[in-house]
Structure 1
Amino acid sequence: MKKLSFLFVFLPMVALAQDKEQSFTIVGKAKDLTPQPNWVFIQYRSQGAWQKDSAAIINGKYTLKGTIEEPVIAYMSVKYNDETDGEDVTTRASRDRTTIFIEPGKIKTKSEDSISNIKVKSSLAHVEYDKLKKSLQPYEDQMKPLIEQYRAYYKAKDKENQEKIEKQLDEIDATMKEKVYGEYVKNNPNSPISMFALQQYAGYDLDIDKVEPLYVSLSNKVKDYPSAKHFKEVLDIARKTAIGQTAMDF
């Protein structure tokens, strides 16, 4: 089996900036949340770098804007003023952070109870992302108690049982990659998130013999994404440095 550690770090990211960017606007509602946040933040990758925007939540509404080269995953979070309803508010990841898939155009969002319960409209990419997350859930449910056990063994410095848990987690993760990410790419070669799914499938220990056929199966539209072009460069290097071939000088 021909594997190669993730090579993205070796490739120049400035080349991605040559692709045409398109604007997006997120029009969001975040009213009557408990507690009520005052600011919303977004972070995503574009032009080979992290891009950020923020907006005040006024009367339960906010607007975020930016430019992207393709559909991308975005990380959203909220912030509270020093006091909300007379009490200090401590930020909690499970309540105050979420991920959405954004694409060019106008996107509407609505949050109930907390930003983590965000609902997204007018983004086909996010619809597909939701489907993918639902497929992942059974495997994540299997991992959760094992992770708790691992933490307990770690505190107890029980390396033998740590290794046993690690093996179980690796097995679940490998199955999840094949059954969820791999199958998604095979069945949805033209999806706006198929390149994202392929990146998750490839991981940090890229198996060229498994990953390359999935890349080849992608539609021409997806292959034209900047991330797909960059990924193709990674595959080319992986193929050239596979076992039995001369390693490249970086």
Structure 2
Amino acid sequence: MKKLSLAFLLFPFLSNAQDKLNLKGNIEALNGDKNIYLIHIEGNAEKLDSTKTVNGKFEFNIDLKAPSVAILLLDHSGNDLNTKGSAKDIYRFFIEPGVATLTAKDSVAKAKISGLAIADDYAALTESTKKIDAGLMNLSKEFANLSDKEKSKEGLVKGFQDRYVAFLDDRKTAIADFIVANPKSYVSLYSLNADLATENMNLELVEKAYNALSPELKESPIANAVAQKLVLERKTGIGAQAMDFEEQTAEGIAIKLSSFKGQYVLVDFWASWCGPCRQENPTVVRAYETYKNKNFTVLGVSIDTSKDKWVSAVKQDGLVWTQLLDRSQNIAREYDITSIPRNFLLDPNGKIIAKNLRGGDLLDKLKEVLK
């Protein structure tokens, strides 16, 4: 079974006299006795508990000193959890010390849980985004029902993309409003990190939600991680002034990022050994050839350790724009490049106006700004 990375989600809370969770469940129409598993975190370690359903009923009693996310797995096959091909019925939910009841008809995936305040918080959050989530689902179905001819129409597709982005923006706003209204809830902290403090975050929205958190929550590792994301976003997020840097070309010529001011610049982080980067390079070449006469250029920054392989890849892929080798990896560290390809689109003043544009998204963005 794939290891689930849940340990990061826990943090110390104020002392609680109760340090156990009693979870009783009833799956009303379940046929036969089945194995059921509960995955959660105890301390800093992942914990797997298991039991059997008897006439659809089961019970877990586990040590639990802090709120957590958990996963309940019901194996309808009756086989061991790791048996290949065993169908898993999964329910993801929040737990905390206390007594809880879980009810379901025939599938834990559609279960309901009661008895825990954290479950009520999550239900309230889900309700706050219910209409938006329904709108997203309907939009997806609407697009899927289009004919191939309709999907080939650029204006029509752009309309769907705009509606999709609007739904996502509304959803993020709803989550931020929930966090502000529930500053002490673990659900708020979890959603802040998972739904808002993400790549291409809305900095203003995340700061608003983070600042609303209770002092206790702000002491948690996950809140500290969000704070670090905010620091980085202020440096490399959309609207930030791109940090200047200097490196050398293959010929040993020192080039500064600031020397490109006055142009739109795509700062493209890549490497010769990066498969996805090499697959993306034809799109970057197309973008450069299309817009190079419209005040646009590309600045490649390679994190290669082999100069020869870097130079060879530049030639093979036809990357004719300025290329720098990040010999010390200092540029990558400053821009928090933990995976590639990554890129930043700068306006003529050196301000970041978009990032992580790939495929058609890159070409669409350039078409938008380079009219």
TM-score between the two structures when normalised by the length of structure 1 = 0.72
Give 1:191's match in structure 2, choosing from 185, 190, 194.
Answer: 185
CA displacement 1:165-220 (0-9 Å, x = unmatched): 23212111211211x20111122212231112323233432232331232122111
Q: Aligned pair in 2 of structure 1 residues 25, 17: CA closer, same or farther (>3 Å)?
A: closer
RMSD: 3.7
Tell me, yes or no, if the aligned pair for 1:154 and 1:162 is still in contact at 8 Å.
Answer: no
How many residues are paired up?
Answer: 228
Against the structure 1 CA distance between its residues 147 and 241, is the aligned structure 2 distance closer, same or farther, given a 3 Å change threshold? closer
In structure 2, the CA distance between the partners of 1:221 and 1:120, relative to structure 1 (3 Å rule), is: same
The CA distance in 2 between the partners of 1:119 and 1:176, in whole Å, is 23
Alpha-carbon distance, 1:57 to partner: 1.5
Structure 2 stretches lacking a partner, 5+ long = 1-5, 80-85, 244-330, 337-371
The 5 Å alignment of 1:95-244 reads 96-153=89-146, 158-160=151-153, 161-178=156-173, 180-199=174-193, 200-242=195-237, 243-244=240-241
**Contact 2:21/2:61 (8 A) holds in 1:** yes
| Alignment CA distance shift 1:56-1:16 (3 Å) | closer
Work out whether residues 104 and 110 of structure 2, in 8 Å CA contact, stay in contact via their aligned partners in 1: yes
Relative distance call for 1:209 and 1:177 in structure 2 (3 A) is closer
Matches within 5 A, 1:60-79: 60-64=56-60, 70-79=66-75
User: Greater Rg, structure 1 or structure 2?
Assistant: 2
Match of 1:29, as an amino acid?
G
Taking the aligned partners of 1:195 and 1:18, their CA distance within structure 2 comes to 11
For the structure 1 residues 177 and 49, does the alpha-carbon distance in structure 2 shift closer, same or farther, using more than 3 Å as the test? farther
Return the structure number with greater helix share. Answer: 1
| SS of equivalent to 1:176 | helix
Residue 51 of structure 2 is matched in structure 1 by 55
For residues 57-114 of structure 1, the C-alpha deviation after alignment (integer angstroms, 9 at most, x for no partner) is 134332346566742332333211369xxxxxx95x8xx4333211134433232343
Distance 1:118 1:61 in 2: 13
Partner of 1:41: 37
Residue identity opposite 1:235 in structure 2: L
Three-state SS of the structure 2 residue aligned to 1:30 is strand
Using the TM superposition, name which of 133-142 and 206-215 deviates more.
206-215
Cα deviations by residue, 1:88-141 (Å, 9 ceiling, x for unpaired): xx95x8xx4333211134433232343234232331111110111112111122
TM-score if structure 2 supplies the norm length? Answer: 0.51
Bigger RCO (CA 8 Å, 6+ sep): 1
Secondary structure of the corresponding residue to residue 175 of structure 2:
helix
Structure 1 unaligned segments of length 5 or more: list them: 1-12, 84-89
For residues 214 and 24 of structure 1, do their structure 2 counterparts lie closer, same or farther at Cα, with a shift above 3 Å needed? same
Instruction: Give the % identical residues.
Output: 18
Contact 1:25 1:105 (C-alpha < 8 Å) held by counterparts: yes
